[in-house]
Amino acid sequence: MIAKQYKNPKPAARKILDKELVDQLIYSTKSDRDRLMLELQARCGLRIGEVLKLRVVDVADRKLTINEPKSGKESEIAFMPEQIAKRLAEYIAASKLGPEDRLFPICYSTARFMIKQLAEKFHIKITPHDFRRHSATYASRNGVPLEIVSKVLLRHHDLKTTQVYLGKINDTEAIRWMDVLHGK
């Protein structure tokens, strides 16, 4: 009886950022550093902590080695689109970073503050993790199989964890997918 009275409330569903807003947020940043940090989260599905731990030696062409990831493994591999990999290589060269240097030598609270300030310009409230959530939902709604979203983009062990990230499907989206699957 007591357990029923003191149940934890269900968390409110997170609003998923749409692509246009994410693009506006990313392109309105003033520095290459901030833009790359946001793109690695929104386009590659990285957690902010993973982005902040990246070193130059962790970057190899279009692959990023995530050391000591949340999964508890020794390391994981994340992948980047070609244009982000190119901009990241240019950023590394322009910043004259050595192999063991961190790509983004700022702390977690500074990164959160940067995102908070950016969001205030657009009169919204977001967290760094909202970019990762966007990455998963955007991929899923554009036909990427759930297994790829889960295992490659988000690097989750269990599909159930990935499903928590995906936004609710509205009626318009459901009808669009029925048309894609079976024609009009």
pTM for the full predicted model: 0.81
Identity at 12, one-letter amino acid code: A
Q: Residue 106 has what pLDDT?
A: 96
Describe the strand order of the beta sheet including 75-79 as a list of residue ranges: 59-60, 63-67, 75-79
Helix (H, G, I), strand (E, B) or coil at 33: helix
The token pair at 47 is 């957690």
Q: Residue 25 has what pLDDT?
A: 96
Q: Residue 168 has what pLDDT?
A: 64
Helix (H, G, I), strand (E, B) or coil at 79: strand
Ordered by where they begin, the domains of the chain are 16-182 (1.10.443.10)
Tens-level pLDDT at each residue, the chain (184 residues): 566 666 666 555 567 788 999 999 999 998 999 999 999 999 999 999 999 999 999 999 999 999 988 877 889 999 999 999 999 999 999 999 999 999 999 999 999 999 999 999 999 999 999 998 899 888 888 888 888 888 888 888 877 767 776 666 667 766 776 777 677 6
Neighbours of 73 (CB within 10 A): 12
What distance in Å separates the CA atoms of residue 179 and residue 182, rounded to the nearest whole number? 5
Helix (H, G, I), strand (E, B) or coil at 49: helix
Q: Residue 150 has what pLDDT?
A: 84
Q: Residue 67 has what pLDDT?
A: 93
